[in-house]
Amino acid sequence: MKIENNKLWLEVERLKMESIAVAHRKEAAANAFDAEKAETMKELEDHKMDVEEIPTTMDLMKGENDNIQLEVLTAAHQHSSCEAGVERLRMELDVLLEVKDTCKIMESGDLNGEVKEIPAAHFMKSEYDKLQLDILTAEHKHILSEAQVDWLKENI
């Protein structure tokens, strides 16, 4: 009986030890679960904050897009103005060229073979040169405006 009692006593002690080990494993698992739960809750909060920031970011981007579209429209308007200026200057140049040709014809029409000097010829030459410069300037502005419009279109 004593042997059997000792066996039972040993079995009880073994079961106690096993129970303590299971309790420790259970506590460790619970602690690990709590830590993982806390980390998951933190991630959830971070994601909630990200979701709340999306409308604000979208509003900012819409405002920036509106500004860029306004810049494109302004550049397009400037481009149109430059084109109109170039066309006006070309028309003035055509008129001046016709006047110049007329002056040459009139100068060569002298009966004595002498070339008459027309007082307006120097003025016309000067105006012609100014208009040529204006045309080159307008064409340069036109090219710059086109480049700006292209750049804005690419970056929208």
What are the pLDDT digits (tens) for 33-86?
999 999 999 999 999 988 888 888 888 888 888 888 888 888 888 888 888 888
Write the burial class of residue 113 (CB in 10 Å: 0-12 exposed, 13-18 middle, 19+ buried). exposed
| pTM over cut 0.85 | no
Domain boundaries along the sequence of the chain: 2-154
- Cβ neighbours of 138 (radius 10 Å): 20
- Angle, nearest 10°, between helix axes 119-154 and 2-108? 170
Cβ–Cβ under 8 Å, residues 149 and 79: yes
* CATH number of 2-154, picked from 1.10.3470, 1.10.1660, 1.10.860, 1.10.287: 1.10.287
User: Does the pLDDT at position 111 exceed 50?
Assistant: no
145 vs 72: CA distance, rounded Å: 10
